[in-house]
Structure formats: structure tokens, C-alpha cells
Amino acid sequence: MHKFDRDALEMARAVIEFSYDRLALEPPSLGGPRSPLELSELYGANITEDGIGWQEALHRFLEDYSRATITSDSPRYLAHVPVAPTKASSLFDLVVSASNICGANWTNGAGAIFIENEALAWLASLAGMPAGAGGTFVSGGSAGNLAGLVAAREEARRRGSLSDRGAILVSAEAHSSVRLAAKVMDIDIFEVAVDSRDKLSGAALRETFSTLTQQDRQRTFAVVATAGATNTGIVDDLVSVVDFCQFEALWLHVDAAYGGAGLLCEKSRPLFNGIERANSLVVDPHKWLFAPLDCAAIIYADPTAASGAFAQEASYLDDVNRLRELNPSSYAFHLSRRVRGLPFWFSLATHGTAAYRKAVAMTLEVTARAADEIRSRPYLGLAMEPNLSVLVFRRVDWSESDYIAWTRKLLVEQVGFVQPTTYRGERMMRLCIINPTTTIEMLCSIFDSMAPVSSSSGS
Ligand SMILES: *Cc1c(COP(=O)(O)O)cnc(C)c1O
């Protein structure tokens, strides 16, 4: 199993050939899920006492299991937040797998961590954070939000300003993972209403904060703002939020998991003003920065504040902990880790940052054109001007069941993977455009399929 013998050589050729073919697909087909029953009836057990051989295992994956998934890098994937890795980043993921570098600490992963840090520093500089800002790459925005909030609580405890159960101020539009992080941390959430533009603002934070008891104010240690809400693409009013945080000496965590790429474009950059004063920031390169899953950056303005929260103590770690502040394990809840920032780094180094600026600008332009197309169709109604690259719109006269039936049909016909959402209490359609190969024609075919004449509603 561990020798690179003739069999391993043939297996390597087959695996690399598949990877080659998969990356050459333009575009890859959309695919779709199958039920657990259907999947269990395909082959029965794959894992047996004697093994089925790599040819058979690979065949089963390529022909069946991999096809029972939705291809998140298809340009027709417009639900949730798509994944749109560059060819360079996907290819380098193979290199990372073959290299088996442990990125937990500097002793093990120095060279790889050094270049991961270069990619983190670039993200920090886009946000205008201080020169010493840094952190690590984690599995996703959810893990990043948890890390930022744990670091914030640790800092409050260190300063002696938190002796009680903690609490945070969060808008109703924050990502669901913020609520989950609070649950995991066993802290409370004080929900703050968004304004008429769906933004969290300093004024609303002040108002909510003033209604709290003295004790509740005392145990509040952080504010979570969103720069690119998942549901709407809205960027909170960060300048007024950060002013409030500084006045009340609260940690500001900015969740830019999806929206962070908007920092790259002149058109969207002003929305992010104030982000440079965040204490912690999350950006997911596996979303709008064209890295493969799973890759999210958690960046601290002052990394030393975080390192005390996460560094693990054990006699067998004493030696590597001499370099505690260089160890990625000091900056989030993990120890062993894949150097998952490297595919992102390789692609950035290969193509240069201007290519990223251009690709993000292109998706913003397609979004703006799609908004015009929605406005031009009387059976559709745009819910808001897009802030970034999310479109929220209604199909006049449709209810929940119409949306569901139509989204299912769209996937069966391989026209698009889309999902409805709720905006201001109303069921609507939501599209998220981050793949530069998503064309306006693809989007128009989706809008056209909602037209009354071609609608095949079963009601
Ligand atoms: C996607 C998203 C998350 C969660 O990120 P994962 O990578 O899926 O864990 C958090 N916050 C926002 C704003 C997001 O869009």
C-alpha cells in the first residue's frame, strides 16, 4: 500500500487523467442529488475485507457517486454561494495533497506557512488593516466566525472587563453561523434591528445597547457586522458601527466570508469603509476569490490577542510552542491542519492581483446587467438594488410551492441550481453570481423560464 509499485503507477495515471479531464470540462455539468436508498442500492458495500481494487472503486466514484452531487463550480450554480476555483488553484490542490505538509506549527510547515501568510497579508492589506495583522486559514466562514468571537472573549477576560457569561451584539441579518458560534460558546446574543436599507448601523447599536441593563452592558464584549450578507449581499454601515465599538470599547468582528472580494473593485470598495478598524475579519477565498473548498481566512488586527486563546499546552508541544506566535494552531480551534491557503496563494502568485480585480468586476457587471433584465420583465420584481453580486427578486403571483416546483424543474433540466429565500417576510428568488463564467445569457434563460406562458405550474 505504501510502495510506489507498478499498480500504484497505473493508479496514479488514472487518477491524474480523471483530474485532467474534470478540469478540462467547460462547463462541467450541473448534476444533482440521489436519495440514500438509491445510493445504497447501487453497489451495496464498497468497503470489504479483501478490497474491491482501485479500478472498481474509482469506477464507482466516477460513474455514480460523483454524479450524485451538484457541481458547485458550474456556471449554472447560482444558489447559496457558489465555488469557482481557478484552474491554477484546483491544480495546486493536487500538489498540496501530494505534499502532506502539516500546517499546525512553524517547525513542521515553515515554508508553506510563510507563503500562506503572504496571501493573508494581501487580504489584510485589501481591507486596510494594520501591517502586523495576521491569522490563519480555517475550513470556512463558520469556523472563522467562531475563532474571531473566541479571541474577542479571551481579550475581554484578559483585560478584566468580563467576569460573567458573555454576550454579543448581532444584527438579524448576520449569517446563521454567528448564532451557532454563540451557542457553542454558550454566550447570549442581543439582536439589533437593521435600518431601512437592511444595514446594521451605529445608531441602532446605540439604541439597543442603551436598553440593556448595566449588567448586560458589562458582559457584552463584541459586535458582529456583516460585509456582504449571504441573503442579500448588503454591507453593514461599518463606519458608524466601528465608531460605536470604539466608543464602548467593544471588539468588532467583521464577517466578510462572501463579500470580502468586493474590496477589490473601485465600484464596491466605498461600501467597506471602516473595515480597516475591525479587530477580526473573515474572508472565504473558497467563495468569491476563486479558491477550491475549503479555505477561509481569519485575520486579527493584533494577532497576539488571539494567540492566547487557542495555543494548546502539552509536554509534547513545548518545543514547537517556543514559536507560539508563528504557529497557525494559535489562531483558531485546530491543531493538525492542511495548508489549505496554498491553492489560493499559487493562483494569486500565478495570475497577479489585477486578474482577480478584473474577474470580480466582471461578476459585478453581469449582476448589474441581470438586474436590468429583471426590471425589464413585467412578471418579475427586483426587491432591492444589488449591493454586491446577490439578486433578490419576486415572481409576481408565485407562492412557496410555485418557487419549489420551478427550482426542481430547473435542476432536472440542468438549466440552473437556484434556491428561494425569504426577504422582509416574503418568499422570493435569490441568485448569487460569483463565477466569472456565468453569462448574462444563462441568467436570461432562467428569467425567461419564469414567464407566465412557459410556466408549467401544476396547480
Ligand atoms: C458562507 C458564509 C458563512 C459561512 O461560511 P462557510 O465557509 O460556509 O462556513 C459565514 N458568513 C457569511 C456572510 C457567509 O456568506
- Three-state DSSP state, 129: coil
185-193: long-range contacts (C-beta < 8 A, 24 or more apart)? 185/146, 185/149, 185/150, 185/153, 187/149, 187/153, 188/219, 190/216, 190/220
Instruction: Give, using CA atoms, the residue closest to atom 10 of ligand 1.
Output: 141
* 434 alpha carbon – ligand 1 mean position (Å): 14
pTM here? 0.97
For 180, the enclosing helix (H) or strand (E) is: helix 176-185
Torsion angles phi and psi, residue 168, rounded to 5: -135, 155
pLDDT tens digits for range 319-359 = 888 889 999 999 999 999 999 999 999 999 999 999 999 99
> For the chain, what's the residue count?
459
- pLDDT tier for residue 84 given thresholds of 50, 70 and 90: very high
Instruction: Give, using CA atoms, the residue closest to atom 5 of ligand 1.
Output: 141
pLDDT of residue 408: 96
* 284 alpha carbon – ligand 1 mean position (Å): 7
Instruction: Determine if the peptide bond prior to 420 is cis (ω within 30°).
Output: no
Instruction: Give, using CA atoms, the residue closest to atom 4 of ligand 1.
Output: 141
pLDDT of residue 453: 75
pLDDT of residue 321: 87
Ligand 1 pocket mutation pick from 80, 230, 235 by most atoms within 8 angstroms of CB: 230
Task: Using alpha carbons, select from 217, 219, 218 the residue that is nearest to residue 205.
Answer: 217
Atom of ligand 1 nearest to the CA of 175: 11
pLDDT tens digits for range 268-282 = 999 999 999 999 999
Instruction: Give, using CA atoms, the residue closest to atom 3 of ligand 1.
Output: 141
Atom of ligand 1 nearest to the CA of 142: 9
- pLDDT tier for residue 454 given thresholds of 50, 70 and 90: low
pLDDT of residue 163: 87
Q: What is the mean pLDDT of residues 425-431?
A: 97
pLDDT of residue 459: 43
Question: Pairing state of beta strands 134-138 and 296-300?
Answer: antiparallel
pLDDT tens digits for range 163-174 = 889 999 999 999
- pLDDT tier for residue 74 given thresholds of 50, 70 and 90: very high
Q: How far apart are CA 284 and CA 343, in angstroms?
A: 13
pLDDT of residue 458: 43
Q: What is the mean pLDDT of residues 223-238?
A: 98
State the number of CA atoms in the 13 A half-sphere of 314 facing the CB. Answer: 5
Q: What is the mean pLDDT of residues 400-410?
A: 97
pLDDT of residue 117: 98
Residues flanking ligand 1, CB < 6 Å: 81, 140-142, 145, 175, 177, 226, 230, 255, 257-258, 284, 296
Atom of ligand 1 nearest to the CA of 256: 13
Q: What angle do CA 42, 45, 50 make, to 5 degrees?
A: 135
Query: What contacts 244, CB < 8 A, 6 or more positions away?
Result: 202, 205, 206, 209, 223, 250
* 387 alpha carbon – ligand 1 mean position (Å): 17
Ligand 1 pocket mutation pick from 72, 199, 284, 430 by most atoms within 8 angstroms of CB: 284
pLDDT tens digits for range 3-20 = 999 999 999 999 999 999
Q: How far apart are CA 354 and CA 258, in angstroms?
A: 20
Three cell numbers at 258?
A: 462572501
* 146 alpha carbon – ligand 1 mean position (Å): 11
Please report where in the chains the cell 445597547 appears, as a residue: 209
pLDDT of residue 185: 98
* 268 alpha carbon – ligand 1 mean position (Å): 20
pLDDT tens digits for range 131-159 = 999 999 999 999 999 999 999 999 999 99
Task: Using alpha carbons, select from 176, 148, 171, 161 the residue that is nearest to residue 278.
Answer: 148
Q: How far apart are CA 390 and CA 259, in angstroms?
A: 10
Q: How far apart are CA 393 and CA 371, in angstroms?
A: 9
Please report where in the chains the cell 412557496 appears, as a residue: 400
Query: What contacts 326, CB < 8 A, 6 or more positions away?
Result: 105, 106, 113
Q: How far apart are CA 84 and CA 64, in angstroms?
A: 23
Question: Pairing state of beta strands 167-171 and 220-226?
Answer: parallel
Instruction: Give, using CA atoms, the residue closest to atom 7 of ligand 1.
Output: 140
Quote the strand ranges of 27-186, DSSP E: 134-138, 167-171
Amino acid, single-letter form, for residue 13: R
Q: What is the mean pLDDT of residues 36-55?
A: 97
Task: Using alpha carbons, select from 154, 131, 118 the residue that is nearest to residue 302.
Answer: 131
